[in-house]
Amino acid sequence: MNNPDRLQAQASSFLGSAHLRKAALYGSLLAESDLQNLEEFGYLQTGARIEDGLENLYRELSKEYRSEIVYKNRLARRFISQGRGSGQRAFVQELRVADSILDIASIGTQVEALEIKTEYDNPDKLAKQLSDYWKIFPKVSIVCHESKVELYSKRIANTPAGLIAMTDRCALRRITKPSENHSSLDVRTMVEALRKPEYSSIIERLFGRQPAMPNTDHFRHHLDLALQANPRLFARETARQLRQRTPRLPATIYRTLPESILASSLRLDPSENQYRMIVNWLNYIGDKNVLSVSQGKAI
């Protein structure tokens, strides 16, 4: 077994969205150093592809140290697999909500905030996190390992929160469904969580087109109007705006990518050209590199 801290550091380095962004920019130019590092760490044999090394690393991570990366990828896989013919959908990651950072907002016909709690997380912040998330999302669920179901069931007892468990084989199963909680909705928090074009669009829908004004006045003006709106209505409009953060590429493209980088890919939201660069990076095998986006995986 690899050292857990070292394993987590390697996974963050190779599987995170920051590294994937470099791959989308440089493609095979980045791959040579990645190839050498993956071989050095023991995840890759000579003649294998970058993707093979990433999958070996991810397999060990899933077995030995189920970090947040594993949970996000499993949830991303579920999101993609449910995307057939379901219209506009979004998988929003790392959304600032009041004083907390929400792991995932899964937004389709149903809207659900998902807070990941791995086996290694301290549950003490949970009450504050839930309090923050309910300011925007009526439905909130905790995603934890199956060994922690009893712990988190007690933590959310007598609350509207739901619970999803991940098994040792990284399968997801619903323990309890969340109930809708509208009593905590807070319009200010919604506005602060949105991008400028998003909250501006809501205000135009609810109050009509607004006059041009300096940036220094723009937020305050729109917030003052937003605070006049019904919180439940504004929450629906917030979900409508977040739903428009739909991935640029179709779900069929994401299904061609390895699970190890799926959540990072959704967060990066690559263009077609960036996707091609990522595929060329995944298929790189050094001097014997013969696969390209047209020969391996392609749009």
Helices 17-26 and 272-282: angle between axes, nearest 10 degrees: 100
* Model confidence band, residue 195 (pLDDT cutoffs 50, 70, 90): very high
Which tens digits make up the pLDDT trace of 62-107? 998 899 999 999 999 999 988 654 568 999 999 999 999 999 999 9
How many Cα atoms within 13 Å fall on the side-chain side of residue 191?
A: 19
Whether this model's pTM surpasses 0.85: yes
Identify the three-state secondary structure at position 91: strand
> Residues in the chain, how many?
299
Six-digit token string for 101: 């950072």
Number of H helices, E strands in the chain: 14, 6
Domain end position, chosen among 153, 176, 199: 176
Domain-ending residue, one of 142, 176, 210: 176
Same domain for 226 and 149, yes or no, is no
Helices (H), the chain: 4-15, 17-26, 28-40, 50-64, 68-81, 126-133, 149-155, 187-193, 196-207, 215-226, 231-243, 251-254, 262-268, 272-282
- Higher model confidence: residue 294 or residue 168? 168
Residue 181 within a domain:
no
Structure tokens, 172: 């997801």
Asked if the structure places residue 77 within a domain, the reply is no
Coil, strand or helix at 175: strand
Rounded CA-CA distance 143/102 in Å is 12
Expressed as residue numbers, the domain containing 49 is 4-70+250-288
For residues 170 and 203, membership in a common domain is answered with no
What's the CATH number where 163 sits?
A: 3.40.1350
Residue 80 lies in a domain: no
- Asked if residue 84 belongs to a domain, the reply is no
Give the C-alpha separation, 65 to 2, whole Å: 9
